[in-house]
Amino acid sequence: MHHEHMKAWVVPCLILASIWVKWAVGLASYSGQGTPPMYGDYEAQRHWMELTIHLPIRQWYTYDLQYWGLDYPPLTAYVSWLCGILGSWIEPSWFALYKSRGIETPGSKVFMRFTVFAFDTLVYVPALVMFTKVWQGTRSSRRQELALAILLFQPALILIDFGHFQYNSVMLGLTLLAANFFAIERDLLGAACFVLSLGFKQMALYYAPAVGAYLLAKCLYFGPTEGPRLFVRLGLVTVASFIVLFLPFLPPFAPFSAILDPITRIFPFNRGLFEDKVANFWCASNVVLKWKYIASQGVLVKLSAALTALGFLPGVCTLLYSAYRLQAQAAARETKTEHTRPTPLLPLLPYALLTSSLSFFLFSFQVHEKTILVPLLPMTLLLSGSSPEEQTFQLGMLMNNVAVFSMWPLLKRDGLGIQYVALLVFWNRLIGYNPFSFGKRSLLQLLSITIYAACLALHVAELIVTPPAHLPDIFPVLNVLISTPVFALVWLWSIKRGVEVSWALGGLGTRSSSKAAPSAPPKKSIPFPADSRPDLGVGDGDVGVDKVQGPRSSGMRTASLGVAQGRRRKVRSGSVDFH
């Protein structure tokens, strides 16, 4: 496939193929199909299109809240309005007020699927392509294409967006765009994108501590003169973006109290600690400790908030502390007039995003099983940049597969069993990942095999055994108990990696700081957090490099490799030696 004359066509063909797969998944049933009176997420999204085109904006967040009242931020509402207008132009009955509730005609289904598909193609796919170009620009084009394939065919997102029916790819795509813009030093544009992401779906809040900490760290790193300037500009852009988003709910377009309608809808604190069965700390520990009886709702909310904050704090701290140290070094060397571009802090961003979103997933309030998609994005980004013998790769595959597994009860309910199997097999085969293949195994690989065996065993058991009457939820609960440890492990790993990378940046400890600080990387190349050796030494000879050399050198490698591309020999002959 990869001959000289076809090179230019690989990326378009990959995108086309991913479109085919997404659309083919969309042939299946969606959430709540044929289940009146409430149906499911599909009907919720369709209902929002219906109500936004028929009602004045002030009523959007107040209209008949019992039947799928709008509870997403305004950008979703505007997008729904756009889709509703378009759909009504084609066929008015699809979005007739009240009369169209629960409509399930083939035509309306195709239209709804098409809207997901259109936004995915317009936002998420370009963001992925840009990511491979910007973050992995120093890798060979073949590696970049493989990375793109890994990202494009990620089964979890396809199953939820195109099978179950949601628009997560828009929120994820906007956040990814923000990260891409940060990487090319367009921080203001990035901040605006992230606000849009927040304005599309409040789940993007899971990323907010990391993004906020990154930008703050950057201001710190820029020193006492440039830093505050950047800070003020970032603040202005962020506030302005929010104001634009909420403009119809603010004076002079509406009384001041109007802003409360969307806000109370977006943040529902009056629901339970968790819904359904979700693979997070609360649901998993609930097997032993019945939280409902131990503490009141108010206490639980505070407890979960505190735990979440504690969870993302390491990621935030590493960013800020690294920035502080780097700034101090720069000041000591008196080179503050020219800052290295891109920011040396950038490699920390994916790990911080992962730490922060996973801590929200594991410890926060009101988490859905689908929300695993949020931490899955940074992990898959890291995975796409790694090579098969690395820990990042092993863990990334494990987390991806287990994440899909953790959504099995939901997918089963939606009638997506075949799609679940097909996409998982397809994606793993595409990457060439086979955890059961023979060979020398690290501890992580043994763990992976154990987890996969448990997943398979549970599936087999579910096929054969009917759950006993007094334990109707035994399978979902077992699913949670298998999945949660994996997510917790990834969370701990992300903290560890963050610290390692930060250490390699020279951010920790004064002893090695002058030596380890990257000395003015060449402009226009982006350090990539995971392995970025394009051609040399990939796939042979360096299995278990992390273990052998310890965190110090692997962190260094992590931080500097993308940068070192141009001067590989020098770096290799110097302090970093991984062969």
Partner 1 sequence: MTKTEWDILIASTCLKLLLFPAYRSTDFEVHRNWLAITHSLPISKWYYDTTSEWTLDYPPFFAYFEKLLSIPAYWVDPKIVDLNNLNYGAWSVIAYQRTTVILTELVLGAAVLRFVRGAENPTMQRIISASLFLHPGFLIVDHIHFQYNGFMFGILLWSILMARNDRKLASGLLFAVLLNFKHIYLYLAPAYFVYLLRSYCLSPTFTLLPGRFLSLANAVILVFLASLGPFLLMGQLPQLLSRLFPFTRGLNHAYWAPNVWALVTAVDRILLKVASRGQLSGLSVNASGVASTSRGLVGDTVFAVLPTVKPIHTFAITVAFQTIYMGKLWTNTSYKSFVTALTLCGFTSYMFGWHVHEKAILLVLVPLSLLAAEDNAYFRTFTIASIAGVYSLFPLLFTPAETLVKIIYSVLWAFFVLKPIHRQVYQFPRGILAVIVDILERLYLAGFPLLQLFVTLFPLVAGRRSTAQESASDNASQSENGVSASVSAMEFLPLMLTSVYCAVGLVWAFVRLSVIYLVRKD
Our finding on whether 157 is near partner 1 (CB under 8 A) is no
Among 25, 146, 358, 367, binds partner 1 (CB under 8 A): 25
- 239 near partner 1, rule: CB under 8 A: no
Q: Do residues 304 and 365 lie in contact, with contact meaning Cβ atoms separated by under 8 Å?
A: yes
28 binding partner 1? (CB under 8 A): yes
Q: Which is nearer to partner 1, 47 or 109 (CB)?
A: 109
What CA–CA distance (Å, rounded) separates 39 from 61?
A: 20
**Is residue 13 a contact residue for partner 1 (CB under 8 A)?**
yes
- Tokens of residue 392, six digits: 């990042």
Q: Site map for partner 1, 301-340, x if CB under 8 A?
A: ----------------------------------------
The site that binds partner 1 (CB under 8 A) totals a number of residues, namely 34
Only one residue has tokens 């730490």, namely 355
- Asked whether position 24 contacts partner 1 by CB under 8 A, the answer is yes
Q: Nearer to partner 1 by C-beta: 189 or 422?
A: 422
Least distance from partner 1 to the Cβ atom of residue 151, Å: 18
Residues numbered 365-424 forming contacts with partner 1, rule: CB under 8 A? 415, 418-419, 421-423
94 versus 487: smaller Cβ distance to partner 1? 94
What tokens were used for 542?
Answer: 């360096």
User: CA-CA distance, 169 to 176, in Å (whole number)?
Assistant: 10
Based on the number of CB atoms within 10 Å of its own CB, is 309 exposed (0-12), middle (13-18) or buried (19 or more)? middle
Using rule CB under 8 A, residue 118 touches partner 1: no
User: In the bound complex, what is the minimum distance in angstroms from residue 540's beta carbon to partner 1?
Assistant: 18
Among 46, 109, 164, 201, binds partner 1 (CB under 8 A): 109
CA atoms within 13 A on the CB side of 437: 8
- The set of residues, in sequence order, having a beta carbon less than 8 Å from that of 356 and lying 6+ positions away, is 206, 207, 208, 209, 210, 311, 312, 315, 316
> Which of 412, 406, 376 shows the shortest CA–CA distance to 479?
406
Q: 258 or 410, CB closer to partner 1? A: 410
Instruction: Please choose, out of 102-110, 231-239, 342-350, 354-362, the segment that lies near partner 1 by the rule CB under 8 A.
Output: 102-110
Quote the CA–CA distance of 180 and 195 in Å, as a whole number.
Answer: 14
Cα separation of 575 and 517, whole Å? 12
Task: Give dist(CA 44, CA 69) in Å, integer.
Answer: 8
For partner 1, the binding residue among 29, 62, 286, 549 (CB under 8 A) is: 29
**Whose CA is closest to 48, among 21, 19, 10, 78?**
78
Residue 23 lies near partner 1 (rule: CB under 8 A): yes
Would you tell me how many other CB atoms lie within 10 Å of the CB of residue 540? 9
Question: Under a CB-based contact definition with an 8 Å cutoff, are residues 196 and 75 in contact?
Answer: yes
Stretch that binds partner 1, among 23-31, 143-151, 391-399, 517-525 (CB under 8 A): 23-31
Q: How far is the CB of 532 from partner 1 (least distance, A)?
A: 26
Region of 369 (left: φ > 0; alpha: ψ -120 to 50; beta: rest) is alpha
DSSP state of 367: B
Nearer to partner 1, 13 or 461 (CB): 13
Binding mask 414-453 for partner 1 (x = CB under 8 A): -x--xx-xxx-xx--xx-----------------------
What is the rounded radius of gyration, in angstroms, for the C-alpha atoms of the chain?
Answer: 24
Given candidates 90, 118, 310, 548, which one binds partner 1 under the rule CB under 8 A? 90
Among the listed residues 454, 473, 475, 453, the one whose alpha carbon sits nearest the alpha carbon of residue 464:
475
Q: How far is the CB of 155 from partner 1 (least distance, A)?
A: 10
Q: How far is the CB of 561 from partner 1 (least distance, A)?
A: 29
Residue with smaller CB distance to partner 1, 21 or 319: 21
CB-wise, 422 or 449, nearer to partner 1? Answer: 422
Three-state DSSP state, 280: coil
Structure tokens at 188: 């203001």
Site of interaction with partner 1 (CB under 8 A): 1, 3, 5-6, 9, 13, 16-17, 19-21, 23-29, 90, 106-107, 109-110, 113, 415, 418-419, 421-423, 425-426, 429-430
